[in-house]
Amino acid sequence: MNPAPPRVLRPGTAGDVATLLAAHTPQPRLLAGGTDLLVQRRAGLDAAVLLDVTGLAGSAPAVARDAASASLTISAVHPLSDVASALGDDVATLRAAIDEFASTTIRNRATIGGNLVTGSPAADTVPALLAAGAVVDVVTPEGSRRTVPLADFLLGPRRVDLGAGEWVASVTVPAPLSGGGDAAGVLEGGFRKIGGRRAQAISLLSLAWQWRRTADGRLSDVRLAMGAVAPTVVRLAAAEALLEGEAPTAELTAAAAAVVGEDIRPIDDLRASAAYRRRCAAGLLREVLATPRTTTREKDL
Ligand SMILES: Cc1cc2nc3c(=O)[nH]c(=O)nc-3n(C[C@H](O)[C@H](O)[C@H](O)COP(=O)(O)OP(=O)(O)OC[C@H]3O[C@@H](n4cnc5c(N)ncnc54)[C@H](O)[C@@H]3O)c2cc1C
């Protein structure tokens, strides 16, 4: 049975969010797209007061580019479809993850804030943002900001580094932003997931990658992040170390795939066995190194 209907309040500014979070005990839940929260409520989550933060999207852009640092601040309260449109060619990992995310209907509601705070190791924007080197911009009860590297924000399944009265306003991705080539090479990135079906599927496994490729084919600044293979999304440090500074030959690709297991701790669950996930993890990295371009597939089924 559903819990009693909550009272829904609609803060118009970030300051109102802080005030309303402090004014109620127990602390209200933020309601963004509602695509996780409403499912949790059907499963029995009780929340007397919800703060609907969708109105905050009107007061800031979905994506803001900082001219001085060349970093990119991405809203945590805008729908993913607005974020994807505003990103243009920037942050290829995140663009590709949003392409693979659920369906148009869900992308028009779901937010990065909800995806991060749910704390799911299968959340699709998380590997994409981790591979892109994102930090999380947390608003404190006093209205000031603290930034947390995304890897530190993820504490465990359904656990993130958010204290009482805190919420996530945005994530910031450092420069370089675009795929334009320079002496350091061309920035490449992408995201692939394995699900039980082609759309509306929770990831059985996902991989986001970002690196620079120089004219002679060598990779640098290699970042690989894998979802649904450990209590949190993880970096594949051993494979990254093998690939750094090298051109991915068939031998190196096989060696990198062979060490993926060092950084993952998959479990058996209702979606897949740990053994299947281990095989897929190695196979997905092999596939990505062989054909790193993300293929756009028909998602709007
Ligand atoms: C049919 C369907 C398909 C789905 N497919 C995918 C998929 O392909 N990939 C995937 O990763 N997920 C998927 N999901 C899960 C869900 O859509 C995502 O996790 C989504 O990003 C949640 O965002 P939201 O804005 O809807 O969050 P909400 O449901 O509004 O909130 C989720 C939680 O985060 C908290 N919260 C929300 N925003 C903030 C904030 N800014 N600061 C602090 N706390 C906050 C809420 O209080 C709540 O506890 C799917 C869900 C459904 C129903």
DSSP result, 244-270 = TTS---HHHHHHHHHTGGGG------S
Which of 88-92, 94-98, 257-261 has the least mean pLDDT?
Answer: 88-92
Q: Taking the CB of residue 292, how many other CB atoms lie within 10 A of it?
A: 16
Nearest CA, atom 17, ligand 1: 35
pLDDT digits (tens, 9 = 90+) for 154-182: 999 999 999 999 999 999 999 865 455 55
Q: Is the CB of 102 under 6 A from ligand 1?
A: yes
Residue 26: is the preceding peptide bond cis (ω within 30°)?
Answer: yes
pLDDT digits (tens, 9 = 90+) for 182-213: 567 899 999 999 987 767 778 899 999 999 99
pLDDT digits (tens, 9 = 90+) for 19-38: 999 999 999 999 999 999 99
Closest C-alpha to 260, from 292, 296, 286: 286
pLDDT at 292: 74
Looking from the CA of residue 169, the nearest atom of ligand 1 is 41
* DSSP β-bridge partners for residue 203: 195
pLDDT digits (tens, 9 = 90+) for 55-83: 999 889 999 999 998 899 999 999 999 99
Nearest CA, atom 12, ligand 1: 123
Q: Is the CB of 240 under 6 A from ligand 1?
A: no
Q: Which domains does the chain have, with CATH numbers?
A: 7-52 (3.30.43), 63-173 (3.30.465.10), 186-290 (3.30.390.50)
pLDDT digits (tens, 9 = 90+) for 247-291: 999 999 999 999 999 999 998 888 889 999 999 999 999 999 998
Cβ-contact 198, 226 below 8 angstroms = no
Nearest CA, atom 5, ligand 1: 102
pLDDT at 41: 85
Q: Does the pLDDT value for residue 297 go beyond 70?
A: no
The pLDDT confidence band at residue 1, using thresholds 50, 70 and 90, is low
